[in-house]
Amino acid sequence: MEYFDLYNEEGHPLGKVASRHQPLGNQEYFLVVHVWIENDKQEFLIQKRAKKNDPIPHQWAITSGIPNSKETPLDAAIRETKEELGVTLDKKQLKKRARIVSNHNQYNTITHVYHTAEAIDLDRLCIDKNEVMDTQYADLDAILTMVENKDFWDYRSLLGDSKYFDMLKEDD
Calpha distance 81→37 (Å, rounded):
10
What is the model's pLDDT at position 106? 57
Phi, psi of 39, rounded to the nearest 5 degrees:
-85, -175
Residue ranges and CATH numbers for the domains of the chain are 3-157 (3.90.79.10)
Residues 60 and 152: beta-carbon distance below 8 Å: yes
Give the model's pLDDT for residue 81. 97
Secondary structure element (H or E) that encloses residue 63, with its range: strand 63-65
- Cβ proximity of 66 and 56 under 8 Å: no
Residue 162 DSSP one-character state = T
Q: What is the pLDDT of residue 46?
A: 98
Residues 6+ apart with CB under 8 A from 147: 153, 154, 156, 165
Alpha helices in 3-103 (DSSP H): 73-85
* Cα R_g (the chain), whole angstroms: 15
pLDDT at 156: 93
34-57 burial: b if 16+ Cβ within 10 Å, else e? bbbbbbeeebbbbbbbbeeeeeee
* Residues 114/83/67/159 CA torsion (nearest 10 deg): 50
- Return the pLDDT at 102: 93
For every one of its 172 residues, what pLDDT tens digit does the chain have, with 9 covering 90 and above? 778 999 999 999 999 999 877 888 888 999 999 999 999 999 999 999 987 766 677 899 999 999 999 999 999 999 999 999 999 999 999 999 999 999 865 579 999 999 999 999 999 999 999 889 999 999 999 999 999 999 999 999 989 999 999 998 877 5
What are the Cα distances from residue 108, in Å, to 29, 103, 113, 128, 146?
Answer: 5, 5, 16, 27, 26
